[in-house]
Structure 1
Amino acid sequence: MDDETVGRPGSGDTSSVAGVGRADIHLHTNLGDGWISPARLVQIATDRQLAVIAVTDHDHVEGARRVEELLARRDSPVQMITGVEVSTRQGHLLGLFVERAPRPLRPVEESIDAIKEQGGLVVVPHPLGTLVPSLSRRKIDALLTAGYEIDGIEIYNPSPANASRRDAVRAANEEWGLAEIGASDAHFWQHVGAGYTRFAGSTPDDLRRAILDRTGRAGGQEHRPARLNPAAYVAQCAWSWFVDPPRRMIRRHRASRSEHQVRRG
């Protein structure tokens, strides 16, 4: 499956290879630190003919639940994976096929275990990055040496967090042998599908199999992602720094209180 065989994201084209699906499994909504409403995300993913998406807001699955509800109501052909981007002490981590978000700000080892206990898959987003909290090569080496199961790694992520380290990540993965993941890390609707994973089939189960079998391929690098006004990025960063963190704290407090009430009951 060569890059040229897959239509440009957002152009309305689909893969010219029969039986090949495109999945964007790193997406953020405005229930997290993104600027994409769940309804807009459903619309864009449908228009861009993505087979599978995963909503991966930071440390909660509320955005994923909302998008899932809207997809069902719209009867969209897009299928969804519940995901989460976990804030660990050593960097961010994606959990796919999860039911709940692991507690944040724990060692990455505990976060991997929490994802695996749910039957989820572990993907390293924007590896080796310096602009956002990311796992270093030394840490990934140590995790693999210690036997922690990492399923995939973002080979292509069009965000600035990944661009400068892309060649180093590809070289490192020749040793690691992890599943190749392409994903947009979209915080704006214009970037949905700008990075994607190509896989045989069209369903979440097909994608899961491709990740486990290491048969998927990262796509998107053949086209430059949409450029936005710099003011949009500044505004989104402010949202990420000043609006989303307090909401996460409120969510954690509510979850902790609910757990305490369950234990008392």
Structure 2
Amino acid sequence: MDDQTSGAPGADSTLPAAGPGRADIHLHTNLGDGWISPARLVQTATLRQLTVIAVTDHDHVEGARRVEELLAEQNSPLRMITGVEVSTRHGHLLGLFVKKAPKPLRPVQESIDAIKEQGGLVVVPHPLGTLVPSLSRRRIDALLSAGYEIDGIEVYNPSPANSSRRAAVRSANEEWGLAEIGASDAHFWQHIGAGYTRFPGRTPDDLRRAVLDRSVRAGGQEQPPARLNPGAYVAQCAWSWFVDPPRRMIRRRREARLERGARDG
């Protein structure tokens, strides 16, 4: 599904091109549970003058690969990070700069290890949230105390999954000291860039360095995200609950067959 709703006034306003880079590193395509086609994602992110994006569909990287192909075909200046939103037993987790998706439904500790083994960065999405599976403050405290490396945390996520917890997250991060990430968590094209991360530089490598040295800044609060018809959210939830899970299961079975074939071959 794609482009089924109309945007609010100002939904297509662009972000300034000058100054630090702006990255939206939490985006979902319609190859996952989003309603954004890869082509529309590229078009909108370019219009809004983002410099870096990360496609982070749940538990697979097919959407990211398709967006990367489109950017190469168009010789676009927009730069992309391959990412994934991992469904762990304890809540969702973003892996950035990955090559493949970690296996879902494992303990969060194993998911962090799987991301780090690929040289990836670990970001906690919609922390402390209650509407979708999210890491709790107690869980994050325990992970950090045990020495698990978390690189960043979404302190600004404009989706309903996190908006009510924003003050609590900022307060907790005064203790944690994690890189402060802003991201849209967009499932609709109208929301691309509604949350973003400012960083010194313009490239994915610049962003990686900025996350690691904690020089990123969360943005997006200056303008509320586009308000869509409630029916759009209901339809997207139905897509997320009834269409995307079977597709994920089919992907996992296909990947398992390929792995068995590789071992037996």
Which TM-score band applies after superposition, normalised by the shorter structure? over 0.9
Secondary structure of 1:165 counterpart: helix
d(CA) in 1 for partners of 2:238 and 2:259?
32
The 5 A counterparts of 1:59-208 are 59-208=59-208
Q: Which runs of 5+ in 2 are unaligned?
A: 1-9
Q: Deviations over 1:222-254 (max 9, x none)?
A: 110000000000000000000000000000000
SS of equivalent residue, structure 1 residue 77: coil
Structure 1 distance, partners of 2:169, 2:41, is 29
Question: Does the aligned pair in 2 maintain the 1:9–1:48 contact within 8 Å?
Answer: no
TM-superposition CA deviations, 1:143-197 (whole Å, max 9, x none) = 0000000000000000000001000000000000000000000000000000000
Matching residue of 1:4: none
What runs of 5+ residues in structure 1 fail to find an aligned partner?
Answer: 1-7
The alpha-carbon deviation at position 13 of structure 1 amounts to 3.9
Aligned residue identity for 2:26: H
Q: Residue 160 of structure 1: SS of its match in structure 2? A: coil
Q: Which residue of 1 aligns with 2:13?
A: 11
The letter of the residue matching 1:12 is T
Q: Distance in 2 between matches of 1:223 and 1:45?
A: 17
Aligned partners of 1:113, 1:261: CA distance in 2, in Å? 25
CA distance in 2, matches of 1:256, 1:52: 32
Q: Give me the CA root mean square deviation.
A: 1.0
Report the counterpart of residue 48 of structure 1 in structure 2: 48
When normalised by structure 2's length, the TM-score is: 0.95
Where does structure 1 differ by over 4 angstroms across 4 or more consecutive aligned residues? Answer: none
Using the aligned pairs only, state the percent identity: 82
Q: Distance in 2 between matches of 1:29 and 1:159?
A: 16
Checking the alignment, whether the CA contact within 8 Å between 2:15 and 2:50 is kept in structure 1 is no
Tell me the amino acid that sits aligned with residue 13 of structure 2. Answer: S
8 Å Cα contact 2:11/2:226 also seen in 1: no
- Identify if the C-alpha distance between structure 1 residues 15 and 175 changes in structure 2 by more than 3 Å, giving closer, same or farther: farther
SS at match of 1:234: helix
Give 1:233's aligned amino acid. Y
* SS of 1:242 mapped into structure 2: helix
Letter of the 1:211 partner, please give it: V
AA partner of residue 204 (structure 2)? P
Give secondary structure in 2 for the equivalent of 1:193: coil
TM-score normalized with structure 1 length: 0.95
Counterpart in 1 of 2:251?
A: 251
Q: Distance in 2 between matches of 1:127 and 1:221?
A: 17
- The count of residues paired between Structure 1 and Structure 2 equals 256
Cα distance in 2, alignment partners of residues 9 and 173 from structure 1: 30
AA matched with 1:225: P
Counterpart of 2:162 in structure 1: which amino acid?
N
1:201-220 equivalences under 5 Å are 201-220=201-220
Query: In 2, Cα distance between the equivalents of 1:39 and 1:104?
Result: 27
Distance 1:150 1:238, change over 3 A: same
Pairwise CA distance, 1:15: 5.0
* Counterparts of 1:132 and 1:61, CA distance in 2: 21
- Alpha-carbon distance in structure 1 between the residues aligned to 2:37 and 2:203: 24
Q: What secondary structure is seen at the aligned counterpart in 2 of 1:185?
A: coil
> What SS class does the counterpart of residue 92 from structure 1 fall into?
strand
1:263 deviates by 1.0
Give a deviation string over 1:95-139, Cα, whole Å, max 9, x none: 000000000000000000000000000000000000000000000
- Residue deviations 1:65-87 (CA, integer Å, cap 9, x gap): 00000011111111000000000
How far apart, CA to CA, are the structure 1 residues paired with 2:243 and 2:163? Answer: 26
In the alignment, the residues of structure 1 paired with residue 133 and residue 78 of structure 2 have an alpha-carbon distance, to the nearest angstrom, of 30
Distance, in Å, in 1 between the alignment partners of 2:175 and 2:15 is: 34
Residue of structure 1 in register with 2:225 after alignment: 225
